[in-house]
Every structure is written in structure tokens, then in C-alpha cells.
Amino acid sequence: MKGSSHTMIGVTVGAMAGFQVQPDLLNIAVGSFVGGVSALVPDLDTNGLATNRITLSKKITQWLMQLVGAGILVAIVYQFFNAGFSPAILLYGGIGLLFFIVSRFITQRRMLTLTGVMVMWLGIVMQQSIGILLMGSYIVIASFLPHRSYTHSLPGLAFYAFILNQLQQDWQVDGLLLAGIAGYASHLIADMKLLPMNRRGVKWFAPIWNKEW
């Protein structure tokens, strides 16, 4: 299934989850955003070059890269206004720049690995979020997994839910957990073999039982 279809389903179930948490516009908006993004997360295990079935993965990677780049920039500006100029600012600026240059040469999967490492690093630098640190580790792990393995399973969903729960506590955003689980689960259900367009199914119970559903 294409990334755009996953997003559409994720936005829908996310909005429903947001409404469930609290029936107002803000919660529905947050829910649909979180649901839409979460519905793309399982396909972080996709090599954009090897598959033609998922078209969005390259865009996701680029989007993540820009997000990390922006994060570095914010961290540098924050550092500058708090502590003034220091050699560390040049160093981090250089790392950020190197990140963009290197991304033009390496494979998409290693680019994703690097992105995950940078997200983890941001989690440490910003000193505020175990959730961001865990999210980075998810990206690193996903970048080494074969397509439709652990990210497309109940253990993958459980790990993602654990991250969401942490982020919900870090950021105090109600509905993050429920909308995220709904979006992620909707992706796995939409990838199942019971839908005629899916040649491969989902190994819900990997690694214990590798049957594709």
C-alpha cells in the first residue's frame, strides 16, 4: 500500500482517537496529525531504492533530515543566546552541515541510520526528552531491519507505544498515545494479506511465530 493511502487512513483513525480523548477541535487536530505521521512509521524499514510499492519513504527521510537540521539550528541559536559564542557552536554547525553533505552520497538506509543517531543526540542535548532518545533508537533499529519484519509486528507496535507514552509524559499532550497507536496499528492492518492488493502479509507475532497474516 502506498504511503499516501497509509497517511489518509492514519489521519482518519487519529482524528477519531483525538475525539475519543476529548471531543474538541484541538484534540481532533492533534490526533489526526499524530495518527497520520504514525501511520508512516512502520515503513521506516523500507529501502526506497528497492521497492516501488512505497513511494513516500524517500520523502519521509528527507523530511526527517530537515527536521533534524532545524533541530540543530534551534539548539545552536539557543546556545548562542544563553552562553554567547563558543567554539562548540562552530563544531555543531559543522556537524549539521556535514550531515547534509554526506546524505547526498550515502545510501538511503545509512542516511536513515545517521538520522536516527542525530535524533538520539538531540534527545541528549536537549536534556528534556527520553522519548526523543527512544524515537531515535527506533529509527536506527528500523534502518537495519528487513522490510515488513519487526516494525510490522506486535513487538514493534508495543515499542512504539512505549515511546509515545514517554513523549506524552514529556510534552503533556493528551491523546498522543491513543492517536499514535491507532495510526500505527492502522498501517499494520492495511498491510495484511486479507486485502487483495497485498501480496505479502504482516508477521504479527514475530519472532515467535513467523506466519504472515
Q: Which stretch binds Zn ion (CB under 5 A): 32-40, 126-134, 154-162, 191-199?
A: 191-199
- From 145, 153, 141, 209, select the one nearest 185 (Cα to Cα): 153
| Stretch of 78-86, 89-97, 153-161, 185-193 lying at the interface with Zn ion (CB under 5 A) | 185-193
Does 191 contact Zn ion by CB under 5 A? yes
Among 40-48, 57-65, 123-131, 157-165, the segment contacting Zn ion (CB under 5 A): 40-48
**In the chain, count of helices (H) and strands (E)?**
8, 0
**Cβ-contact 131, 159 below 8 angstroms:** no
Sign of CA dihedral 170, 185, 146, 51: negative
Q: Does 45 bind Zn ion (CB under 5 A)?
A: no
Asked if 35 contacts 183 with a C-beta cutoff of 8 angstroms, the reply is yes
User: Is the omega angle on the peptide bond into residue 207 within 30 degrees of 0, that is, cis?
Assistant: yes
Which of positions 194-213 make contact with Zn ion (CB under 5 A)? Answer: none
Nearer to Zn ion, 13 or 43 (CB): 43
% helix / strand / coil in the chain, to the nearest 5? 70, 0, 30
Q: How many residues bind Zn ion (CB under 5 A)?
A: 3
Closest approach of Cβ 85 to Zn ion, in Å? 46
Taking CB under 5 A as the criterion, the residue among 37, 43, 153, 206 binding Zn ion is 43
Distance separating alpha carbons of residues 116 and 110, to the nearest angstrom? 10
Q: What string marks each residue from 62 to 101 as x (binds Zn ion by CB under 5 A) or -?
A: ----------------------------------------
Contacting residues toward Zn ion, per CB under 5 A? 42-43, 191
